Amino acid sequence: MDLDTSIKEISRVGPSFLRKLGKMGIKTVENLLRHFPYRYEDFSDIIPIAKVKLNETCCVLGKILEIKSSRTWKRRMILTQAIVQDNSSAIKVVWFNQPYLIKTLKQGDVVCLAGKVSFGDKGIFLSNPAYEKISTFRNIEISSLTHTGRLVPVYPETEGLSSRWLRYILKPLLLEFKNKIPEILPEKIIKAENFLPIKQAIWQVHFPDSVAQAEKARARFSFEELFLIELSVLKERLRLNKEKAPAIPLNVELTKEFVSFLPFKLTDAQKKCTWQILKDLEKPRPMSRLLEGDVGSGKTVVGVIAALNVVKAGFQTAFMAPTEILAKQHFQEVIKLLKPFKVKIAFLTGKEDKIVAQKLENEILEISRQKLLDKARKGEIDILIGTHALIQDKVKFKNLALCIIDEQHRFGVEQRAKLSTSRAGEEKLIPHLLSMTATPIPRTLALTVYGDLDLSILDEMPKGRKKIITKVIPPEDRNKAYDFIKEQVKLGNQVFVICPRIEAGNNQAEKDKKGEKDILGWAEAKAVKEEYEKLRKEIFPELKVGMLHGRMKTKEKEKIMKDFKNKKIDILVSTSVVEVGIDIQGATVMMIEGAERFGLAQLYQFRGRVGRANVQSYCFLFTDSPARKTRQRLEAIVKTENGFELAQKDLEIRGPGSLSGVKQWGIPDLAMENLKNLPLVEKTRQAAQELLAEDPDLKKYSPLKERLKKFKKRIHLE
């Protein structure tokens, strides 16, 4: 066996465990060796039985005097009970529902036990302790113990795959492979950071001799995993710099003319970001820039200025949005902004036979999909706007120079090349990329998973925008909030009501989840369909209430949004489909049911759906949860206006694993845990930059190059 050997070759790993390990992304011996513990149980202090104390966790060593198994009829539970004695005293031991123990442990066996001391009818006893058989009382080697008597590793688990089983499988593997794992960190980094060499670190991270050794091993692997992410994104940046892109000359007069037609003044932040983008477009290598800005900070205008420069230089632009509603909204907005400039703009989604397009003379007409695709291929469409249907094989451009993508940060060279078609005899050109997001990204994520993108930040709001008043509404104030909403509608304003799910659960899985209410302090999640009926019939019978959710057909969704925009609907009850980009000028109240169920970044996005005009707007966060953590999180959004500060708080409170997208990237647990450690992130980035400056192709570091190749297969930063 070697490190790339499939885990199915490991003895004692049968089909059932193979499936469970596969669910956790563990497919090879190396994957298994790098499945690190997330904490340790400290059972290293073995004490005499006479010194055990009630309610404390302890570790003892003794001989089994007697052991028996019985069934309790009341609770239908199998109890395995033993008496264990050492030189100082004896103690009763009870295991619940582990009937196999009667075959594993016998009278006369010497055992090491670690668990909590509890109190029962007949005095104190060890409750459900970890156990292992040993050969003798004397001269026990810590290294010979696995589940007790030492710092014991506790691993990320899945159903039917326990830490005990993982320890049982891992220990012999480590003994076999610890000297075969190649060192991937450069010697100078190991010396500078005083890291354990790989052969020591891999053993100490799983079965440490002490807390200090465990911390040293984890420090080494934390650095290593972040270092691999940094190398991955920085190498992608180097790769991109070798590609060629159309050089778009900066047209100052055109840009000034566009700005003069705007009904508002650009903020200083918009001017600065526009300049950064236009200067990037001048270069003959592909731009990869992320335009990050609070909701309502004016990202679309900046993107349109870039598109206009591209179009008037004789090239095409593709503009993608994550949903059809948002794509159509961008289509209408771009038409409006570019009306004076005779630009040919078209709209394409993945579902419709008829496509809305705009002719040169500014009237809107419908043409067939095939006709539209032909026009794009011939270069007769300047800006094609749509969903990710634009990446389909059938969509070709004559001379695509810019991809603008809303709310999807990752869009690689291959995807861009797929959109672009070179003209006959020309070298292959890769379009520039401008990605836009209103989701605030903490600095640590900007340096790691988005490290191949240049960052432009719109940190200034247009003049005249009023601060949105945000309040947490307890259950007893619900009716006051309803009265306030009625007053707002009387004034001609509109309201969003957000619910966590579409309909109330009635299947077994939902019933099983009811335990969440007790554990997390959550009430049952409000459902859009039920809430819509309740608000329409009982609370606001005199008002026009509409409903929107992701299972509706496209045309149905479009009609609802159009009616809401045209004020034919007063209150729109919706799921999170309105989270991104929806622009309703008349909406002044955002009411969020079950606010504790959404992340801070999501709540921030919802809040940004109101306050789009200069009218005072409000965001009401409804929660029935008494949990302190819920209160802490919701207070954070009440007090914080700046999205970047909020992103940092979200990272601190929930950790990076809860942030949008991060779970799907396949980032290892140790790296995930350290994505909020800014000094460590900066240190690994610096080390990666220095190494690539010295050796861009890692020719002198073949084990590192090989490990990076495997690592990139496991993570997918999209």
Q: What is the DSSP letter of 49?
A: G
Q: 708: which residues sit within 8 A by CB, 6+ positions away?
A: 228, 231, 232, 235, 698
What tokens were used for 239? 């790769």
- Determine, yes or no, domain membership for 447: no
Collapsing DSSP states into helix, strand and coil, what is residue 143? helix
Collapsing DSSP states into helix, strand and coil, what is residue 328? helix
CA distance 181 to 41: 27
The per-residue pLDDT for 623 is 85
- Determine, yes or no, domain membership for 688: no
> Other C-beta atoms within 10 Å of 706: how many?
13
- Determine, yes or no, domain membership for 105: yes
> Which residue ranges of the chain lie beneath pLDDT 50?
424-425, 506-523
Strands (E), 593-630: 618-622
> Other C-beta atoms within 10 Å of 98: how many?
14
Range of the domain at 274: 252-282+298-437
Q: Are residue 391 and residue 477 in the same domain, yes or no? A: no
Query: Which residue blocks in 243-339 are alpha helix, DSSP H?
Result: 252-261, 268-281, 299-312, 324-337
Q: Are residue 105 and residue 3 in the same domain, yes or no? A: no
Residue 324 amino acid letter: E
Q: Are residue 87 and residue 136 in the same domain, yes or no? A: yes
Q: Are residue 11 and residue 30 in the same domain, yes or no? A: yes
- Element holding 404 (H helix, E strand): strand 400-406
- Determine, yes or no, domain membership for 700: no
CA distance 391 to 383: 15
What tokens were used for 491? 């004034």
Cβ neighbourhood burial of 627 (10 Å; 0-12, 13-18, 19+): middle
Q: Are residue 173 and residue 134 in the same domain, yes or no? A: no
- Domain end, chosen from 415, 437, 459, is at 437
Cβ neighbourhood burial of 475 (10 Å; 0-12, 13-18, 19+): exposed
Q: Are 431 and 403 in contact (CB under 8 A)?
A: yes
- Domain end, chosen from 585, 618, 640, is at 640
Give whole-number Cα distances, 67 to 76, 80, 103, in Å: 20, 7, 10
Collapsing DSSP states into helix, strand and coil, what is residue 347? strand
The residue among 270, 274, 236 whose CA lies nearest residue 254 is 274
- Element holding 444 (H helix, E strand): helix 443-447
Q: Are residue 28 and residue 93 in the same domain, yes or no? A: no
Q: What is the DSSP letter of 522?
A: P
- Determine, yes or no, domain membership for 211: no
Q: Determine the distance from the C-alpha atom of residue 78 to the mean position of all C-alpha atoms in its chain, rounded to a whole number.
A: 42
Q: Are 346 and 381 in contact (CB under 8 A)?
A: yes
- Domain end, chosen from 640, 667, 689, is at 640
Burial letters 442-474, b for 16+ CB under 10 A, else e:
bbbbbbbbbbbbebbbbbbbbeeeeebebebbe
CA distance 146 to 166: 11
- Determine, yes or no, domain membership for 580: yes
Q: Following DSSP, what letter does each residue of 575-598 receive, concatenated? A: -GGGSSS---TTEEEEEETTGGGS
Structurally, the chain folds into a number of domains equal to 4
Pairing verdict, β 57-72 and 77-85: antiparallel
- Determine, yes or no, domain membership for 100: yes
Give whole-number Cα distances, 138 to 24, 59, 113, in Å: 40, 15, 16
The per-residue pLDDT for 521 is 35
Collapsing DSSP states into helix, strand and coil, what is residue 334? helix
Q: Are residue 530 and residue 567 in the same domain, yes or no? A: yes
The enclosing domain of 625 has a CATH number of 3.40.50.300
The enclosing domain of 141 has a CATH number of 2.40.50.140
Q: Are 618 and 589 in contact (CB under 8 A)?
A: yes
CA distance 574 to 603: 14
CA distance 602 to 438: 10
Q: Are residue 96 and residue 126 in the same domain, yes or no? A: yes
Tens digits of residue pLDDT in 304-324:
999 999 999 999 999 998 888
Q: In terms of C-beta distances under 8 Å and separation of at least 24 residues, what long-range contacts does 690-696 make, across chains too?
A: 691/186, 691/231, 692/231, 692/234, 692/235, 692/238, 696/235, 696/238
pTM score: 0.78
The residue among 306, 304, 311, 303 whose CA lies nearest residue 379 is 311
The residue among 111, 137, 128 whose CA lies nearest residue 162 is 128
CA atoms within 13 A on the CB side of 246: 26
- Determine, yes or no, domain membership for 223: no
Q: Are residue 617 and residue 492 in the same domain, yes or no? A: yes
Q: Are residue 411 and residue 514 in the same domain, yes or no? A: no
Q: Are residue 541 and residue 412 in the same domain, yes or no? A: no
Q: Are residue 50 and residue 78 in the same domain, yes or no? A: yes
